Amino acid sequence: MSTHTDLGTASARCFIVPPYLLDHIANLNNPRLEHASNAAKRALTSGPPFRSVRRGEPAPPQRTMRSGGEAAQRQGEPGQPTRFISDAGNTEELPGRLVRSEGEPATGDETVTEAYDGLGDTYALFWEAFTRDSIDGNGIPLAATVHFGEAYDNAFWDGTQMVFGDGDGQIFVGFTNSLSVIGHELAHGVTQYTANLVYSGQPGALNESVSDVFGALVEQHSRGQSANEASWLIGEGIFSDEVEGQALRSMKAPGTAYDDDVLGKDPQPADMSGYIETDDDNGGVHLNSGIPNRAFYLAATAIGGNAWEAPGQIWYETLTTEIKANTDFRQFAEATITVASRLFGNESRETEAVRSGWQTVGVIAQPE
């Protein structure tokens, strides 16, 4: 089953679970996992269309967001999020029934609470670390829908909001369980409103990597973890106890997040020597993203301290001011070095850490 999208004619929704993994689950020949297999098949073929902007252009200014069937206006001041959580009731109708708005008490539904808190934690990172007022920089409300679909095995950004499935219960156990997932998907919105990286090939892998970077930073910022204390895992907590694996991806060691009899082994390469040329997964966007992910991890741990400070600022400024929609790995690497030099000096520890990270993963050449 192919899930490749021709991005010359259409935009892709940005999913946390890559299509190659769902393909693998969908094609399992295991009666015990028939429920999970059927759930994966539905996840590959169902869902509403991505609410796209034109390829390679910035997203338009947006001051309202539909949630619960009504236009939701910004309520608070800069520095305060405006959140709306809706419940799809296991249908695929968006946005669903509005169940919690900003400032309202918890509903007793843990998934609603996790989504509400996760949106708040993501807002807090971008505001406190980068003085960015929501994903568009202008205070746009943050909306999410939970309980989407029947045992739906994914979470995604649809162009205006977050959408979370509950998982099949055998392999995936719910996508609000992981704060890095929530931060990852909302970061797709930040990319959409800034560089709007084309979701294909190396620009698409950078799109995925940027979301992994900020997803990890949301989790670390919320927990008060330094770069050297953090797990650098993306999607920790969404697998059932039956799965031999920690998470969907490891930024520290791409290719090691899971190694399971059912799921197989994490296929992400850790450097350019393993770069995967493929037409699937929009040109390998979830595969090759491991390469820039590891470059960020190496830079952040070499710099030390909190990763949302110097390294996060370098990546954020690169994303929002330095790159274009078709930027490839080398261009992105060079842009991060330029930004690091501007912020901290050409001979600084920060700049050298960024340069060394990209050299280690083979995106730029080692010095002779």
pLDDT one digit per residue (tens) for the chain, 368 residues = 233 333 332 345 789 999 999 999 999 999 999 999 999 999 998 755 434 333 344 443 333 344 433 444 555 689 999 999 999 999 999 999 999 999 999 999 999 999 999 999 999 999 999 999 999 999 999 999 999 999 999 999 998 999 999 999 999 999 999 999 999 999 999 999 999 999 999 999 999 999 999 999 999 999 999 999 999 999 999 999 999 999 999 999 999 999 999 999 999 999 999 999 999 999 999 999 999 999 999 999 999 999 999 999 999 999 999 999 999 999 999 999 999 999 999 999 999 999 999 999 999 998 87
| CATH number of the domain where residue 137 is located | 3.10.170.10
Cα 365 to Cα 234, 268, 272, 294, distances in angstroms: 28, 21, 11, 16
Task: Answer whether residue 230 is part of any domain.
Answer: yes
Answer yes or no: do 44 and 142 share one domain: yes
DSSP state of 143: E
Answer yes or no: do 166 and 265 share one domain: no
Task: Answer whether residue 280 is part of any domain.
Answer: yes
Buried b (16+ CB within 10 A) or exposed e, 64-80: ebbbbeeebebeeeeeb
How many whole angstroms separate alpha carbon 60 and alpha carbon 68?
A: 22
- Last-in-domain residue among 193, 212, 233: 193
Task: Answer whether residue 5 is part of any domain.
Answer: no
- Last-in-domain residue among 193, 222, 237: 193
Answer yes or no: do 150 and 228 share one domain: no
**Which ranges constitute the DSSP H helices of the chain?**
19-26, 34-45, 110-130, 179-193, 201-223, 281-284, 290-303, 310-317, 329-344, 349-360
Range of the domain at 177: 14-193
Has this prediction a pTM greater than 0.85? yes
Count the neighbouring beta carbons within 10 Å of the beta carbon of residue 263: 17
Cα dihedral 237, 243, 246, 247 sign: negative
β-bridge mates for residue 258, sequence order: 245
**Domain total of the chain:** 2
State CA 92 to chain mean position distance: 21
Answer yes or no: do 148 and 291 share one domain: no
Catalytic residue ranges: 185, 286
Answer yes or no: do 205 and 307 share one domain: yes
